[in-house]
Structure 1
Amino acid sequence: MAARSEARTAMSDSLRRWVADGLLALVLLVIGIGGTGPAGEGQDRPVTAFTYVLVVIVALSLVVRRRWPLVTLGIAAAGTSLYLVLQYPYGPILLAFMVATYTAARHLPLKPAAIAAGIALVVLSVHTFTDGNIEGLVPGAAWVVVPFAVGVTVRLSREAAARTRDDLARQYADEERLRVAQEVHDVVGHGLSAINMQAEIALHLLDKRPEQAEAALTAISRTSREALDELRVTLALVRRTREGETRAATAGLARLDDLVARMSETGVPVTVEVTGERRDLPAVIDLAAYRVVQESLTNVLRHAGAATATVRLTYLPKEVSVEVLDTGRGVPGAPGGGHGLVGMRERVAALGGEFTAGPAESGGFRVYATLPLP
């Protein structure tokens, strides 16, 4: 389906180009036929049937100007040069020649376009020698130089615009990959850390207290199921599934209680303190705040040792702040020593917020983020 759609688009673009070039040729043909006679009368130069034949040939060559620009320029240069050698009047035929020169400069690489334009200039200048009017060489050169310069300028500007679009597309793709990697890191990292801790508890209690080991295994099953569900949601969002299929399951502060419960099951007590009126946040802010809490608690689980954690949410009119404070070892490089702190900082910065992380004054480690509200 995609291939057929691309083929139809290409055919449609090609047809539009043919129609546009045909209309341009027709307009210049009408101008040439209508303007050559008056030009001959004004310059007191002959106008014969062959004059119009040359005008028609040069104008109609523009029909294939974008498909075969060199052929078009060759026909236009030869026809216009013969037209001037026969001392026909300077007239609309020169417009068609200038369009052919512009087309070669616009659609060909610089070197072949310059060579073709130079040859066209030599061919066009033949009449100045046959007439003995060398002074006409300079104004005659303008008929080539001006459209050539315009064509090269247009081509370079469009190539620069295309490169800019490609760079932006690559930048967007890179940012999207980083975003997906961060989401997967947050989801999988937290889930595996909780599962690992619960598995160690189960192994430790299996012989002595099997009933508690069973509870730990049950928690492992629930945690793994929730992590898989959240991972599926994340991947579904990346695949651009319908909004109704994913919105309800998207991570946010509404799921903070589930996160705290999972942490408590691993032996890390978590206290949540809320200041201000709790309210619905924009989806991107809600997700970022939840991920900061999730990753911070994951770091507590991994690095803080025997510790408790406190999560403080502050709702203000223009911002929401998240603070996670633990009572663990508080080694600066330990929590989030991998990509955790970097990912949180980048996530918050992308939303125009501020992020700090480091040892707390009372011991332990502190993560603090503010997220501005629109």
Structure 2
Amino acid sequence: MNLMEEQSTEDRRPWHGPPWWRRWGEEPRGFRLPWRSTVLLTAFVVVGTHFSAHHQRGGRAPLDALAFVLVLVASGALLWRQRHPVLVVFVTAAAAMVYLGAGYPFGPVLLTVAVGCFSALVAGHRRAAWAAVGMFWAGHVLVAHWLYRWLPPPGDTAASWGQELVVAAWVAALVALAELVRVRREQWARERAERAQAARRRADQERLRIARELHDILAHNISVITVQAGVGLALLDSDPEQARTALITIKAAGKEALGEVRQVLDTLRTPGDAPRAPAPGLDRLPELVEQAGHAGLTVTVEGESPRLAPGTDLAAFRIVQEALTNVVRHSGSRQARVHLDGTAGVLRLRVDDDGPASGADAGGSGSGLAGMRERAAALGGTLEAGPRPGGGFRVIAVLPLTVSPEEPQKRGATPEDREDR
């Protein structure tokens, strides 16, 4: 785990108090306070307050030390508006309410309340923002229409209700804008989460696809290598020529596995590039039958395959390959039958063997059957596997034919092509 991940973990530690309050000063590592905007806003409020005082002489109380303290408190609190928006909105509202209640000139101090309320609403603390604005509004009405008799400046009169309507319109516009920004931010957050989830889903699907490819490639070729290695060891002294043939088969199976693994790995290194060799399909079924023959399994093919889309062709080839591999590894039978039927808009694959299981289920107990089912399901097809009524094991796959008439027939890689990999 790197430093940024550690910092992110620190930030996600649960807080067991109220959701809008954390201990003062408890900032996440790497958190940066908005110093620049707060300093600029404070300077604007202070200068604007001076300017307002010069234009409201005689009607409001003159500025003194308390006025500047209240202005600085209201402006300085905005430094924590992103980290503690609820606390900030109440501090700015209270400071502005005391400022106006003391009779000081109207001015930019009201902007601090607007910024605090805006920050709280955007952060999702709607109740707190509305409560703070309501408190400020109630205090303003109380001072402007009742307490003005006993508060400075002396001789002040009640505010007009037209002025109250203007303030109410200003507050409503501010709240509406903040709510709009909050909704847009939530929408953007949902869209980002959906994109991230879709990316994770695509990554998981790609990981499963590569796992299936590697499993099918390695399981088949290693099964051939294992069988031929046993034959070679058994005949090394009694029949050296047959042992040599077994070693040649092992070499060919190893080269085949290495070439296909490289092709899979190339898609990881350059995901946007086209593969350097065609993906295997049912046109390579004779090679598959020949490899099974080297492993001691006689395979009979019945029927012909129609033209298939590349993805369907690859899935069909891998399903037959895995089914024959399971016969070699798990069945006592030395014969298997592959039946192909491409009618009624679907390709029906059936792989049968007659022998009993040898130490394990004939169909295999690992991830091979699960991988075949995933391949069929990814194309909208189905796969069934289980014991046959008369003995042995049967795999039946039904895959939809999705090839278009204009799509050219996909060619398989020739032995010379594979030699160059």
Q: TM-score range by the shorter chain?
A: 0.5 to 0.7
Does the residue aligned with 2:263 lie in a helix, a strand or coil?
A: helix
Quote the Cα distance in structure 2 between the aligned partners of 1:212 and 1:101.
88
Quote the Cα distance in structure 2 between the aligned partners of 1:86 and 1:312.
94
Aligned to 2:140: 127
Partner deviation per Cα, 1:135-158 (whole Å, 9 max, x = no partner): 969957756655555554444444
Quote the Cα distance in structure 2 between the aligned partners of 1:250 and 1:163.
35
Quote the Cα distance in structure 2 between the aligned partners of 1:373 and 1:126.
75
For 1:8-157, list aligned pairs within 5 A: 101-102=117-118, 104-106=120-122, 108=123, 110=125, 115=128, 118-119=131-132, 121-123=134-136, 125-132=138-145, 142=172, 146-147=176-177, 149-157=179-187
Structure 1 length as normaliser, TM-score? 0.68
Q: 2:362·2:393 contact (CA, 8 Å) conserved in 1? A: no
1:318 aligns with 2:345: yes
Aligned to 1:287: 314
Equivalent position amino acid for 1:287 in 2:
L
- Tell which deviates more after alignment, 153-162 or 321-330: 153-162
For 1:286-365, list aligned pairs within 5 A: 286-316=313-343, 318-329=345-356, 333-365=361-393
Report percent identity of matched pairs: 37
Quote the Cα distance in structure 1 between the aligned partners of 2:304 and 2:119.
68
- Tell which deviates more after alignment, 304-313 or 160-169: 160-169
Equivalent position amino acid for 1:352 in 2:
G
Aligned to 1:269: 298
Quote the Cα distance in structure 2 between the aligned partners of 1:147 and 1:76.
19
Q: 2:267·2:275 contact (CA, 8 Å) conserved in 1? A: no
Does the residue aligned with 1:264 lie in a helix, a strand or coil?
A: helix
Aligned to 1:203: 233
Task: Note closer, same or farther for the CA distance 1:173–1:212 as it changes in structure 2 (3 Å cut).
Answer: same
Task: Note closer, same or farther for the CA distance 1:190–1:133 as it changes in structure 2 (3 Å cut).
Answer: farther
Partner deviation per Cα, 1:248-307 (whole Å, 9 max, x = no partner): 33121122111111111111011111246x32x111101110110010000001011242
Q: 1:102·1:150 contact (CA, 8 Å) conserved in 2? A: no
Task: Note closer, same or farther for the CA distance 1:256–1:98 as it changes in structure 2 (3 Å cut).
Answer: farther
CA drift at 1:173: 1.9
Quote the Cα distance in structure 2 between the aligned partners of 1:221 and 1:154.
62
CA drift at 1:188: 0.8
Quote the Cα distance in structure 1 between the aligned partners of 2:335 and 2:117.
77
Equivalent position amino acid for 1:185 in 2:
H
Task: Note closer, same or farther for the CA distance 1:130–1:315 as it changes in structure 2 (3 Å cut).
Answer: same
Quote the Cα distance in structure 2 between the aligned partners of 1:229 and 1:268.
24
Quote the Cα distance in structure 1 between the aligned partners of 2:271 and 2:201.
23
- Tell which deviates more after alignment, 150-159 or 190-199: 150-159
**CA-atom RMSD in angstroms:** 4.5
Q: 1:274·1:313 contact (CA, 8 Å) conserved in 2? A: yes
Partner deviation per Cα, 1:145-186 (whole Å, 9 max, x = no partner): 555555544444443333333333222222221121111111
Aligned to 1:373: 401
Equivalent position amino acid for 2:144 in 1:
D
Does the residue aligned with 2:303 lie in a helix, a strand or coil?
A: strand
Aligned residues: 314
Q: 2:327·2:362 contact (CA, 8 Å) conserved in 1? A: no
Q: Which runs of 5+ in 1 are unaligned?
A: 1-47, 51-60, 89-93
Does the residue aligned with 2:229 lie in a helix, a strand or coil?
A: helix
Larger radius of gyration: 2
Aligned to 1:181: 211
Quote the Cα distance in structure 2 between the aligned partners of 1:262 and 1:271.
13
Q: Which runs of 5+ in 2 are unaligned?
A: 1-53, 57-74, 148-160, 403-421
Quote the Cα distance in structure 1 between the aligned partners of 2:319 and 2:82.
59
Partner deviation per Cα, 1:101-158 (whole Å, 9 max, x = no partner): 445422x364xx7656654554455432332179969957756655555554444444
